[in-house]
Amino acid sequence: MKIIVGLGNPTKEYAGTRHNVGFSVIYNISDAYNIPVETKKHKALIGKGIIEGEKVILAMPQTYMNLSGESVRELMDYYKCDLSDLIVIYDDISLDVGKLRIRAKGSAGGHNGIKNIIAQLGTQEFTRIKIGVGEKPAKMDLADYVLGRFSKEEQPIIRESADRAREAVCEMITHDVASAMNKFN
């Protein structure tokens, strides 16, 4: 079983923000594979289904970004999954808008949601798909930037990157992380 976690902030006010691209990918996967993500469990909205013959849990933590690890820890403990079965999808300001970067492990890179996941799991050894949201303007506060929405020009790029992230998840399920890295990085 794979646990696929998209990071974001709950409530409608954050829908469509840069910080919520992880949620956008979960919705994309949910739609493509007909896996409703509406059960409240483990401090998340989750959905159970099958992708390419593999059981999956789709999850959107409802703890707010900075405490995402609490939900991830509960999911990992309850389903007794190995770290190799976890895929975390989130925004990255160091990548151009829509660019994907897949990693098998790594540091938090300043992302508070990932910092909390690393703290809760006690390791950096989990797969992640980072989606570029662009670098913040020099005179803008980081929180205001990541909680802001994409421009009209950026919206189709982000929708296409959510499609590519879904395809990358499928590649990881049918092959492995290295194959997804070769194909999508």
Catalytic residue ranges? 19
Ligand-binding site membership of 112 (annotated): yes
Ligand-binding site membership of 66 (annotated): yes
Counting Cα atoms < 13 Å in the Cβ hemisphere of 65 gives 24
Q: How far apart are CA 136 and CA 124, in angstroms?
A: 25
Instruction: Report the alpha-carbon angle 54-59-61, nearest 5.
Output: 160
Q: How many CB atoms lie within 10 A of CB 15?
A: 14
DSSP-based three-state secondary structure for 20? helix
Ligand-binding site membership of 9 (annotated): no
92-to-14, 30, 36, 104, 110 alpha-carbon distances in Å: 16, 22, 26, 16, 9
Ligand-binding site membership of 20 (annotated): no
Pairing label, strands 54-61, 2-6: parallel
DSSP-based three-state secondary structure for 55? strand
Q: How far apart are CA 146 and CA 85, in angstroms?
A: 28
Q: How far apart are CA 171 and CA 166, in angstroms?
A: 9
Binding site for tRNA, residues?
Answer: 14, 64, 66, 112
Binding site, residues?
Answer: 14, 64, 66, 112
